[in-house]
Structure 1
Amino acid sequence: MTWTSHHRRGDVLREVIRTADARLATPAEHRQPAHLPMDVDGVADTFGDELTLLGALQLRWHTRLAGHIERELADQPLDLDNAVALAWLAAAEDMPGIRAVIDHCSSHPTSPEMARTTAIANAKEHEMLALMAGRASAPGEAAQRVGRTIEASARTSYVPGAVRPAVAAPSSLVQRIRAVLAA
């Protein structure tokens, strides 16, 4: 991949994400299912097919989720379950269009390959959630069950497309210790 094609791919992916977010922001009575935005200019040329585009969106999602988990665990090192659930919620609120597309593709795959790909990606996500929450010691079916529970907990307060009002977060133990040490 050349420098130009790499940057073109990034530009197209950003437009796909903007389109997915905009479609989710339409009023519920006019909202279409969260299909992959294959109609965005340049998608066919840069991604080629649905699976490649979905893979790029899943990578963006997993990267953002991992970043939020790291940040929440640093702020809440004593409440791992809650930190991981809050991280999932924050990532979903940051990327509502991607989350909606992934959910739609998981529940309505257009091919057996998409069904397999989304099942694997979801299993890996659930394992990560369980492992980072300290509720599993190794990847596998048990970790996936725990991760599904953590995701379900986060989804109880998730409204796709809605943005929570900014609230000043209470100081975490780590932040209070840092403030004392700095003083």
Structure 2
Amino acid sequence: MSWTDYYRRRDALDAVLRAAAGNPAAPLTFDRDLFATEDDLLLALHYRWMRQLTGRLGTALEDSDDDRVETVTRTWRALAAEQPVLRAVLDAHLTVPEALEREQRLLALTAGLADLSEPGEDVAGVGAAFLGLIRTGPAAVVPGRRRGLAKSA
């Protein structure tokens, strides 16, 4: 991909988010020369979300002595608050299982709630449950998890 292509795609994603600001659940309008299908568009938007989330999680874990669950919860919520349209569009439209599971696995592993040695589907299940808690409940330490776990994920 050339820089020209990169900037065209970036601008197209920004345009989709601007258009969706009033109603993120409405059908998405997008440049079909850049994104062949809505799933292609949503995967690009999810990639944008994951890039930001991954970077912020790394920084937050490095800078914090808090429990990893608390740090991951706080970081996800902060990004969702800063990018409400992006998050709302993904929540309303993204149905690609691999993308959803990618985020769930990232959250479970980064929070220390699962281990790489566990089957991916189990890790994703833990991540899905954790994401449900992140979205709805107050940040809390998960019983049985120690504070100060290793900061690498």
TM-score range (shorter-chain normalised) is 0.7 to 0.9
For the 8 Å contact 2:72–2:111, the answer to whether it is kept is: yes
The one-letter amino acid paired with 2:79 is: A
Deviations 1:153-176 (A, max 9, x none): 221269xxxxxxxxxxxxxx9xxx
Q: Which residues of structure 2 form unaligned runs of 5+?
A: 139-147, 149-153
Matched residue count: 137
Question: Which residue is equivalent to 1:85?
Answer: 73
* C-alpha deviation, 1:123, in angstroms: 1.0
Question: Which residue is equivalent to 2:151?
Answer: none
The one-letter amino acid paired with 2:103 is: E
For the 8 Å contact 1:81–1:150, the answer to whether it is kept is: no
For the 8 Å contact 2:69–2:111, the answer to whether it is kept is: yes
Residues 56 and 36 of structure 1: is their aligned pair in 2 closer, same or farther, counting only changes over 3 Å? Answer: farther
Higher RCO by CA contacts (8 Å cutoff, separation 6 or greater): 2
* C-alpha deviation, 1:49, in angstroms: 2.0
Find the residue that maps to 1:135 and give its secondary structure. coil
Question: Which residue is equivalent to 2:132?
Answer: 152
Q: Which residues of structure 1 form unaligned runs of 5+?
A: 24-31, 107-114, 159-172, 174-183
Are residue 65 (structure 1) and residue 56 (structure 2) matched?
no
Equivalent residues in 2 for 1:53-132, closer than 5 Å = 53-106=41-94, 115=95, 118-132=96-110
Larger Rg: 1 or 2?
A: 1
Question: Which residue is equivalent to 1:37?
Answer: 28
* C-alpha deviation, 1:36, in angstroms: 5.1
Larger proportion of helix: 1
Cα distance in 2, alignment partners of residues 13 and 33 from structure 1: 13
Q: TM-score, normalised by structure 1?
A: 0.65
* C-alpha deviation, 1:9, in angstroms: 1.7
The farther-off stretch of 133-142 and 52-61 is 133-142
Question: Which residue is equivalent to 2:141?
Answer: none
For the 8 Å contact 1:17–1:97, the answer to whether it is kept is: yes
State the identity as a percent.
Answer: 37
Question: Which residue is equivalent to 1:180?
Answer: none
The one-letter amino acid paired with 1:156 is: T
For the 8 Å contact 1:36–1:101, the answer to whether it is kept is: no
The one-letter amino acid paired with 2:10 is: G
Question: Which residue is equivalent to 1:52?
Answer: 40
Residues 33 and 76 of structure 1: is their aligned pair in 2 closer, same or farther, counting only changes over 3 Å? Answer: same
Q: TM-score, normalised by structure 2?
A: 0.77
Residues 37 and 157 of structure 1: is their aligned pair in 2 closer, same or farther, counting only changes over 3 Å? Answer: farther
